[in-house]
Structure 1
Amino acid sequence: MKLHDNGVFLLHIADSFEKIAQYLGGMDKESFFKNSLTQDAVVRNYEIIGEAARNITDDFRALHPEIDWRGMAGLRNILIHQYFGIDLNNVWNISKVHAPDTLAKIQALPEYQTAKKLLSNHRK
């Protein structure tokens, strides 16, 4: 796999979504609002997701319109450029409502499966 391969970016996206799910696992909304460490970790992973989504080629994104590439990149832009006014309600709702579905769609892509297999074989 090349460093700037769509598969690599898909791995980064999936890994970050998995981390977000782990950070928020067992946590309710009120606890999330009170825990700045978890907030920072979740926001950072959305920044990674957005940057990776921005690096997916246009052709690949066009082949997979079921995935909200623009939304991922747009959220990254909001988090980076409007860091002083992050809406934690939106972050929570995205994490609980949209993120699991998006992760499942990413993991279903053949390119993701291939990249994951190559990475797994490389680590052996």
Structure 2
Amino acid sequence: MSDRQRLADYLRHMADAARKTRSYIEGMEKADFLADERTQQAVILNLVIIGEAATRLLQSHADFLDCYPDVPWKSMKGMRSRIAHGYFDINLAIVWETARTALPALLAHLPAIIMAAESES
């Protein structure tokens, strides 16, 4: 797989993880999320996937990502690092807010970004 094909692949992984996360919390209130360890774990795993994809994109395709400054690539990478390296200190309120507010914004941006990446491959 070419480097440019990996670009679109990473972006599709991000979109898939974001969609799954949104489906997991659909219809939930914050209190429900905070009481549901299974959903917490599923959401956290998908945030790690999103952050890992962002990390790889920043390493290999920073020039492409610079065209999309409204997407918080570095914040996604940072969240992945905080989850992976500070696992016992995860702030579930931040996880909830990220899933509820940041992921819909990411999902709004990704289709056009994926199309641009595919046209480059």
- Calculate the TM-score normalised by the size of structure 1: 0.85
2:12 paired residue number? 11
1:49-92 deviation line (CA, Å, top 9, x unaligned): 00001111111111211111001100000000010010010011
2:32 paired residue number? 31
Structure showing greater relative contact order (alpha-carbon pairs closer than 8 Å, 6 or more residues apart): 2
1:2 is displaced (CA, Å) by 3.9
How many pairs are equivalent? 114
- Which stretch of structure 1 is more off in the superposition, 95-104 or 75-84? 95-104
Alignment of 1:1-124 (within 5 A): 2=2, 5-56=6-57, 57-109=61-113, 110-111=115-116, 114=118
Return 5+ residue gaps in structure 1 as ranges. Answer: 116-124
1:95 alignment partner AA: A
- Calculate the TM-score normalised by the size of structure 2: 0.87
Q: Distance in 2 between matches of 1:32 and 1:101?
A: 20
1:40 alignment partner AA: Q
Structure 1 stretches of 4+ moved >2 Å: 1-4
Q: Distance in 2 between matches of 1:50 and 1:33?
A: 22
Cα RMSD of the aligned pairs, angstroms, is 1.7
1:19-60 deviation line (CA, Å, top 9, x unaligned): 000000011111100111000000000000000011111111
1:108 is displaced (CA, Å) by 2.2
Return 5+ residue gaps in structure 2 as ranges. Answer: none
